[in-house]
Chain A
Amino acid sequence: MKPPPFDHHAPRTLAEALDVLAATGEHGKVLAGGQSLIPLMNMRLAAPAHLVDINRLGGLAAVETGPDGVRVGALARHAQVERSAGAAAVQPLLRQALRLVAHPVIRNRGTAVGSLVHADPAAELPAVLALLGGSVRLARRGGTRDVPAGEFFTGPLESALGPGELAVSAFFPALPPRAGTAFEEVSRRHGDYALAGVAALVRLDGGLRVAAATAACVSAGPVPVVVDVTAACGAAPAGAADWEAAARAVRERIEPEDDIHASADYRRHLTGVLAARALREAARAAVEHADGSAGGYAAGSRAGDGG
């Protein structure tokens, strides 16, 4: 239960970090919050020869909000993004999801970008990025590329991040006008991995009818599963849409697996229930957002275990 030996690198600049990553290639691994990587190392499931500790690169800790969205730097901790009133106003789903990520003490240290790069299909933030159509910015020596969420998550714990690359930030698009979001999940205890969870985004037209509705499911496949349920729920008024039909569409699309905590059938059932709940709540928030003044309006995310 102790980590294997490695060479520790503590670069003072981004350029220096990228040089080390270029030199170490597939043997190099970035250490940010360490809340996923260090448990894997302690259990000897990961044994990188070189760790590039980016905790001294304070410039990567920024959370920048603008009218088009929120850009979260590689060193921004979950708790920091969760507390950001600006980020919550531009994209309320961030705070709704972050409250469900692990325990508060883990969120003090873990980073949002690290959670994306870890690419756990049971985690909340990959589902959020996938649902919103966000992107991850990858830097390497001599270049930078933005990878859209749809291409970033390539499998369980696998992402498009290549050897020599550092995920410097992630971009979460802003909530569109007349839109709302919600995140619902069920876990055995608050902070545990969810048995099932659904993030929902509902956008209304000028007559407050459903114009677009999508749901992203966690623990429902090898990567976050995004289901467009617009056709299933119909272009009905926000308060009268057929969310049960949307739930059926979600259940048909997902591929949950059995484990000691829940059977695949139970996960499929639960995901449908949570999808209907999250979509209904997102639609309610969308009406509120349309009625309210300009700017995002955080839906009243239920506190507690999300159950």
Chain B
Amino acid sequence: MGEAAHEIALTVNGVLRRTRVPGRRLLSDCLRHDLGLTGTHVGCEHGVCGCCTVLLDGEPVRSCLMFAVTADGHEITTVEGLADGARMSPVQRAFAECHGLQCGFCTPGFLCTVTALLRENPAPSGEEVLEGLSGNLCRCTGYQNIVRAVHRAAEIMAEERAEEA
């Protein structure tokens, strides 16, 4: 079938990337297949599991519920873009420290969601953390440690802000 291809340009993790995609290419598949960024995981492909969550212009969105053509001209941050060079981000360090992952499949989505959550709300309550995480599923059911990791990440970020001040 001769599906029309669209030229798109995305800024992914700070790098301008150009590619050609059919209209139906999901952003999640564009990131993984066309751009080779396989850190973004694809679970349910209907917006329920949260594994494919990325940041679109800084806001967390489901990359499986967006066409790559719609993202043309926008900035995307994937899990590969969260670290500062070789140093993991505070959220990543907290997940490692608190063992906030078992198999790791859901982790990229959690990391992107939590990164945005803590930017909006640097000291969330227990209830706010639960609500913030409610759209991400972990089938290893390691939620206790994930919740602990979010609070720990908030602590690390507060400490780093205090050191900078």
Residues of A participating in the B interface, judged by any CB pair closer than 8 Å: 1-8, 10, 31, 34-35, 38-39, 41-43, 51, 53, 55, 79, 102-106, 108-109, 189-191, 303-304
Contacts and interface: CB of A to CB of B under 8 A. Distances in A.
B100 interface: no
B135 A5 contact: no
B4 A7 contact: yes
Given A1-B45, A109-B66, 18 more contacts: A2-B26, A2-B29, A5-B24, A8-B4, A31-B70, A34-B70, A38-B47, A38-B65, A38-B67, A42-B26, A42-B64, A51-B67, A53-B67, A53-B70, A105-B135, A106-B47, A106-B65, A304-B131
Given A8-B6, A103-B134, A109 B46 contact: no
B23 A191 contact: no
A105 B45 contact: no
Given A8-B69, A35-B47, A103 B22 contact: no
Contacts of A34: 65-67, 70
Contact of A189 (B47, B64, B134): B134
Given A8-B23, A43-B46, A190 B67 contact: no
A190 B23 contact: no
Nearest to B65: A38
A192 to B, nearest CB: 9
22 contacts: A1-B45, A5-B1, A5-B24, A8-B6, A10-B69, A34-B65, A35-B47, A38-B64, A38-B66, A38-B67, A42-B26, A42-B64, A103-B134, A104-B132, A105-B53, A106-B65, A108-B56, A109-B56, A109-B65, A109-B66, A303-B127, A304-B127
B3 interface: yes
B61 A4 contact: no
A51 B23 contact: yes
A104 B135 contact: yes
A55 B67 CA distance: 11
B25 to A, nearest CB: 9
Given A38-B65, A105-B135, A191-B134, A7 B47 contact: no
Interface of B: 1, 3-4, 6, 22-24, 26, 29, 45-47, 50, 53, 56, 59-62, 64-67, 69-70, 113, 127, 130-132, 134-135
A39 B46 contact: yes
B119 to A, nearest CB: 13
Given A53-B67, A304-B127, A108 B23 contact: no
A106 B135 contact: yes
The list of the 9 closest CB pairs from A to B, nearest first, reads A103-B135, A8-B23, A39-B46, A1-B45, A190-B134, A3-B24, A38-B65, A108-B59, A105-B60
B113 A105 contact: yes
A31 B64 CA distance: 15
B71 to A, nearest CB: 9
A200 to B, nearest CB: 23
A207 B146 CA distance: 53
A255 B66 CA distance: 35
B135 A39 contact: no
B61 A6 contact: no
Contacts of A38: 26, 47, 64-67
Contacts of A35: 47, 62, 65
Contacts of A191: 131, 134-135
Nearest to A38: B65
Contacts of B50: 103, 105
B30 to A, nearest CB: 12
Nearest to A55: B70
Contacts of A7: 4, 23
A190 B134 CA distance: 6
B78 to A, nearest CB: 15
A177 to B, nearest CB: 33
- By CB atoms of chain A within 10 A, which of B53, B56, B64, B134 has the most? B134
Contacts of A53: 67, 69-70
Given A6-B24, A105-B50, A105-B113, A190 B131 contact: yes
A4 B131 contact: no
A206 to B, nearest CB: 39
